[in-house]
Amino acid sequence: MTDTWDMVQAEREALVADLSGIKEDQWAEQSLCGDWTVRGVAAHLVDNALTTRFGIVVAMARARFDFDRQNAMGVARALGDSPAATLSNLRGVVDRRTGPPAPVDSRLVEEVVHGEDIRRPLGITHAYATDAVERSLVHQARTPVSLGGGKQRIAGVRLSATDSDLVIGDGPDVVGPTLSLLLVTSGRDAARVDLDGPGVPHLG
């Protein structure tokens, strides 16, 4: 568990460093995550980092147990009054080690996948730790979509990483970088262009 939290902190620190160098108008760029902008995803990461097991129950009650509304309310709280404030809020949670009642690996998934939701539209590349990406993909592959994973999206195919020895599942091959396999498993279709193999058309 400690190792996972160390990786979470490393990814938070790296994202803060990357966002410290962007222009103010880039915060309004559309991210890979739904309707959220780059700034919105950053605020979501702040809200996630502040989440506690008790706090998520209170937040859901305030949102009338509507998950999307709860997310939106959390983003609104974490945005601050400017991109600089959002960045400051993000910097302030890099070493937080709290979370909802979910596996700690889900916190790592949030940092890696949302990190790419932000970086790819901005043209920023980042060298993620192999362990971090592999652990995130393994978690997503066994977690149902209803719980934020991607199990159903990759049912019936075999994911084969080209940059590691990781192989997941059975069926026609889907071949590509581990990070791209993670993104597609997590519902980011923009990364499909990085994948090859007879299993690609079968991805959900």
From the number of C-beta atoms within 10 Å of its C-beta (0-12, 13-18, 19+), residue 163 rates as middle
Q: Give the Cα separation of 26 and 16 in Å (integer).
A: 14
Residue ending a domain, choose from 122, 143, 172: 122
R_g of the chain computed on alpha carbons: 17
- Judgement on whether residues 86 and 157 belong to the same structural domain of the protein: no
What CATH code is carried by the domain that includes residue 171? 3.30.1050
Strand-pair partners of 30: 37
- Judgement on whether residues 84 and 185 belong to the same structural domain of the protein: no
Residue ending a domain, choose from 122, 150, 177: 122
What CATH code is carried by the domain that includes residue 114? 1.20.120.450
- Judgement on whether residues 90 and 140 belong to the same structural domain of the protein: no
- Judgement on whether residues 19 and 115 belong to the same structural domain of the protein: yes
pLDDT category of residue 68 using cuts at 50, 70 and 90? confident
- Judgement on whether residues 30 and 87 belong to the same structural domain of the protein: yes
pLDDT category of residue 58 using cuts at 50, 70 and 90? low
Residue ending a domain, choose from 100, 122, 144: 122
Phi/psi region, residue 197 (left: phi>0; alpha: psi -120 to 50; beta: rest), is left
- Judgement on whether residues 83 and 146 belong to the same structural domain of the protein: no
- Note the pLDDT tens digit of each residue in 78-116: 899 999 999 999 999 999 998 888 899 999 999 999 999
Q: What is the pTM of this model?
A: 0.92
- Per-residue model confidence (pLDDT) at position 99: 83
10-13's contacts with Cβ under 8 Å and 24+ in sequence apart are: 10/129, 10/132, 11/108, 11/111, 11/112, 11/115, 11/128, 11/132, 12/45, 12/49, 12/90, 12/93, 12/94, 12/95, 12/111, 13/94
- Per-residue model confidence (pLDDT) at position 54: 59
Q: Where are the beta strands (DSSP E) in 48-145?
A: none
pLDDT category of residue 39 using cuts at 50, 70 and 90? very high
From the number of C-beta atoms within 10 Å of its C-beta (0-12, 13-18, 19+), residue 16 rates as middle
- Judgement on whether residues 24 and 79 belong to the same structural domain of the protein: yes
Q: Give the Cα separation of 43 and 50 in Å (integer).
A: 11
- Mean pLDDT taken over the chain: 92
Is it the case that residue 26 has pLDDT exceeding 60? yes
- Judgement on whether residues 106 and 154 belong to the same structural domain of the protein: no
- Please tell me the total count of domains within the chain: 2
Is it the case that residue 67 has pLDDT exceeding 70? no
What average pLDDT does range 24-31 have in this prediction? 97
- Judgement on whether residues 97 and 192 belong to the same structural domain of the protein: no
Range of the domain at 31: 2-122
- Judgement on whether residues 115 and 25 belong to the same structural domain of the protein: yes
- Judgement on whether residues 56 and 151 belong to the same structural domain of the protein: no
Give the residue carrying structure tokens 């979470």. Answer: 8
Count of all residues that appear for the chain in the document? 204
- Judgement on whether residues 41 and 111 belong to the same structural domain of the protein: yes
- Per-residue model confidence (pLDDT) at position 76: 83
Q: Is 191:180 a contact under the CB 8 Å cutoff? A: yes
What average pLDDT does range 8-20 have in this prediction? 98
